[in-house]
Amino acid sequence: MIDDELAQFDKSISEFWSKFKGTVSDTSSQMVGLRETYKDSIKACAEKLSVKLKEEERMVEMFLEYQNQICKQNNLIQEKKENLLRLVAEVKDKKQELDVLTANIQDLKEEYAKKKETISAANKANEERLKRLQKSADLYKDRLGLEIRKIYGDKLQFIFTNIDPKHPENPFMFSLHLNEAREYEVSDSSPHLECLAQFQENVRKTNNFSAFLANVRKAFMAMVYN
């Protein structure tokens, strides 16, 4: 009985060992398979992670590049804004200068119009005076032997004859023009008359040119007879 039980126990031990070895062998194979699968998974994960990291690095580089470009664009925009503000200020200054220049031009136009009107009135007055002088000249030409010539410097030269009975053709003359104040101014008398300045003052006051001519002629005649 004891031998049979021992034999049966050995058999049981042998069967258990066989099963255990098979189980361990299967487990070892499974562990090896799992380890290889794990290694493959880790490798795949590492590759994916490496690709992801490279993508993220490119994204960071692109972000930094975009940020740099945006900074440059902002600086350029700020510079253009400052230039635009400067141009606006310059245009504003130019507009003010243009307004001042326009006002000055308007003042000059008005002043020119006034001066033109004054000159026109003066020219008209001169024409009237010249007409009166010509009328007086025509009136006294035959009676007084008077000849009037226009000479240099816008002057009129008055020439008397028939003053010296011995030499009636001898000329007695003086020149006359209007000065800047539009007044009579007498000069260049030949022969010289001391009283010519007084005659000039009288004709300026009275504007009686006929009397002036008569007085000048009388003065020349007095000079001859004296």
CATH code of residue 148? 3.30.457.50
CA 206 to chain centre: 56
181 within a domain of the structure (yes/no)? yes
Question: For residue range 12-69, what is the model confidence (pLDDT) as tens digits?
Answer: 888 887 877 777 666 667 777 777 887 787 888 788 878 888 888 888 888 888 788 8
**Residues 68, 54: Cα–Cα separation, whole Å:** 21
Per-residue pLDDT, 23: 75
Domain-located, residue 59: no
User: Has residue 200 been placed in a domain?
Assistant: yes
Q: Is residue 156, in this structure, part of any structural domain at all?
A: yes
Instruction: Give pLDDT, residue 43.
Output: 80
Average pLDDT over residues 185-208: 93
Over 70: is that where the pLDDT of 152 sits?
A: yes
- Write the pLDDT tens digit of every residue in 33-42: 777 887 787 8
Provide the pLDDT confidence category of residue 116 given band limits of 50, 70 and 90: confident
Is the residue at 220 inside a domain?
Answer: yes
Residues of the domain holding 211: 131-225
**Domains of the chain: total:** 1
Tokens representing 41 are 């998974």
The verdict on residue 191 lying in a domain is yes
b/e code 107-132 from CB counts within 10 Å (16+ = b): eeeeeeeeeeeeeeeeeeeeeeeeee
Token pair of 62 as six digits? 């692109």
pTM for the whole thing? 0.42
pLDDT for residue 175? 94
Residue the block writes with tokens 């008359």: 193
Nearest Cα neighbor of 173 from 186, 154, 184, 182 is 186
The percentage of the chain sitting over the pLDDT mark of 90, rounded to a whole number, equals 24
